């Protein structure tokens, strides 16, 4: 088993990470002190992700990847633990899809229904769109509206045409784009990728200029309608909660739009002594899984204030700086793994 290098996108940046092939899967290694092995693009693989974990463990423990922990998740609809290995309950945010009428009348409440109606009254229309150069250019206008979103630097701000086109074109054979328009201006879009009987949200964004028009709610309504047409059973939008960050505007937004928190087993198998120690100390969970919720909220707000001050100083006295209000900003989503469609692209 030879070590290679594979390109992945983490927080909007392309990086090369060590990788090996195991049982037809590309396994990548991330992390510095605690080195974690995971299957590349596990959230969009349509076959069984790991049929024989023991085989993976043996090859990784004796191989050249030099990882400390091997981790993988189960996927919908299999939510009951299948393997006798250490696991923790992870979660995804998903809308169980049956009919549009069921979502409209039973899975969302009056406030959300009124927001979808508001978008229509404001002249917002949603429709399926073809991926081409013109769509890429219009999406770039949304990307380049502001360098800061949700209190942090926006990953896609300032990227050139070829980079944006390349990043948007992943999984085009299973990809679908929804556009939200005001007249002929693209003011929001969503990219869905089909994985068996689910749609995974890869990108989800609207212009801040039109945030008063409930564009995001209109896009979700269209996504549910399209899911029903395609016989989709679940519409997945990242995690419902991220680590100990249990209360957030994004989680509230998902809840209001019919997303439910569905727990799935996530396995963490130690490959080395360091891996066993890291699991005992919960170091594999990262900062979001270690710090208490109150401290996480304080740090997020502090980061937003620092970025606001920096952007204000760069903008100068005669220029308006980007607004940073993370507690009120509508959500932004990019590609991720099965439990987090927003982390890698």
The enclosing domain of 252 has a CATH number of 3.40.630.30
Which residue positions in the chain have pLDDT lower than 70?
A: 1-2, 243-246, 286-304, 307-308, 310-345
Please indicate, yes or no, whether residues 125 and 75 belong to a single structural domain of this protein: no
With both helix axes pointing from N to C terminus, report the angle between 215-229 and 110-121 in degrees, rounded to the nearest 10.
100
Rounding to the nearest 10 degrees, give the CA dihedral for residues 22, 28, 30, 36. -20
Whole-angstrom distance, CA of residue 336 vs CA of residue 331: 15
DSSP letters of 153-190?
E-TTTT--HHHHHHHHTTTGGGEEEEEEEETTEEEEEE
pLDDT (0 to 100) of residue 204: 95
Q: Burial code of 274-299, b = ≥16 C-beta within 10 A, e = fewer? A: ebeebbeeebbbeeeeebeeeebbee
Answer whether residue 161 is part of any domain.
Answer: yes
Residues 182 and 228 occupy one common structural domain: yes
Instruction: Evaluate whether residue 169 is within a structural domain.
Output: yes
Domain end marker among 242, 260, 278: 260
The whole-number pLDDT of residue 297 equals: 64
Q: What is the DSSP string of 301-313?
A: HHHHHHHHHHHHH
Domain termination site, one of 291, 306, 340: 291
Does residue 65 fall inside a structural domain? yes
Please indicate, yes or no, whether residues 139 and 203 belong to a single structural domain of this protein.
yes
Query: Could you tell me if residue 329 is left (phi over 0), alpha (psi between -120 and 50 degrees) or otherwise beta?
Result: beta
Structure confidence at residue 308 (pLDDT): 63
Number of CB atoms found within 10 A of residue 154's CB: 18
Q: Are residue 273 and residue 256 in the same domain, yes or no?
A: no
Per the document, the length of the chain is 345
Residue pair 138/159 in contact by the 8 Å Cβ criterion: no
Is residue 133 one of the residues assigned to a domain? yes
Per-residue confidence (pLDDT) for residue 326, from 0 to 100: 38
Whether pTM exceeds 0.85: no
Q: Do 123 and 29 sit in the same domain of this protein? A: no
277 occurs within a structural domain: yes
CB contact burial 101-123 (16+ within 10 A = b; e otherwise): eebbeebbeeebeebbeebeeee
Instruction: Indicate if 256 and 273 belong to the same structural domain.
Output: no
Residue 300 covered by a domain: no
In a domain, 325, yes or no: no
pLDDT at residue 343, rounded to an integer: 35
12 and 138, same domain (yes or no) = no
- Establish if 276 belongs to a structural domain: yes
Domain identity same for 104 and 22:
no
The helix (run of H) or strand (run of E) holding residue 199 is strand 198-206
Alpha helix (H) residue ranges in the chain: 53-61, 100-102, 110-121, 133-143, 161-168, 215-229, 249-256, 273-280, 286-290, 293-315
Residues 234 and 270 in one domain: no
* 274 shares a domain with 143: no
How many structural domains comprise the chain? 2
Domain that holds residue 75: 4-89+265-291
Residue 331: per-residue pLDDT: 46
**282 in the same domain as 231:** no
Whether residues 250 and 279 share a domain: the answer is no
CA distance 302 to 148: 14
């Amino acid at each position: 088993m030879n070590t290679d290098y594979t390109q992945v996108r983490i927080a909007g940046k392309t990086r090369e990470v060590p990788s090996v092939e195991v049982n037809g899967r590309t396994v990548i290694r991330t992390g510095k002190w605690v080195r974690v092995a995971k299957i590349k693009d596990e959230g969009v693989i349509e076959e069984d992700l790991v049929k024989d974990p023991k085989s993976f463990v043996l090859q990784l423990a004796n191989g050249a990847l030099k990882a400390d922990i091997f981790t993988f998740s189960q996927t919908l609809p299999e939510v009951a633990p299948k393997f006798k290995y250490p696991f923790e309950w992870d979660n995804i945010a998903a809308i169980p899809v049956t009919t549009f009428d069921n979502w409209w009348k039973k899975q969302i409440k009056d406030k959300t229904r009124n927001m979808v109606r508001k978008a229509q009254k404001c002249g917002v229309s949603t429709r399926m769109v073809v991926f081409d150069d013109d769509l890429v250019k219009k999406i770039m206008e949304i990307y380049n509206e502001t360098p800061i979103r949700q209190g942090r630097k926006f990953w896609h701000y300032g990227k050139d045409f070829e980079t944006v086109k390349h990043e948007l074109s992943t999984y085009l054979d299973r990809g679908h784009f929804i556009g939200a328009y005001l007249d002929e201006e693209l003011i929001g879009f969503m990219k869905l990728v089909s994985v068996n009987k689910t749609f995974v949200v890869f990108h989800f964004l609207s212009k801040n200029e039109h945030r008063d028009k409930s564009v995001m709610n209109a896009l979700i309504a269209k996504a549910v309608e399209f899911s029903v047409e395609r016989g989709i059973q679940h519409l997945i939008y990242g995690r419902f909660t991220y680590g100990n960050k249990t209360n957030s505007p994004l989680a509230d937004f998902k809840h209001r739009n019919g997303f439910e928190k569905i727990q799935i087993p996530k396995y963490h198998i130690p490959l080395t002594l360091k891996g066993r120690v890291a699991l005992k100390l919960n170091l594999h969970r990262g900062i979001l899984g270690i710090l208490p919720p109150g401290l996480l909220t304080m740090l997020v707000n502090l980061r937003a204030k620092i970025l606001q001050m920096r952007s204000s100083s760069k903008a100068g006295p005669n220029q308006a700086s980007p607004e940073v209000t993370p507690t009120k900003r509508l959500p932004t989503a990019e590609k991720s793994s099965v439990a987090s469609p927003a982390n890698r692209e």
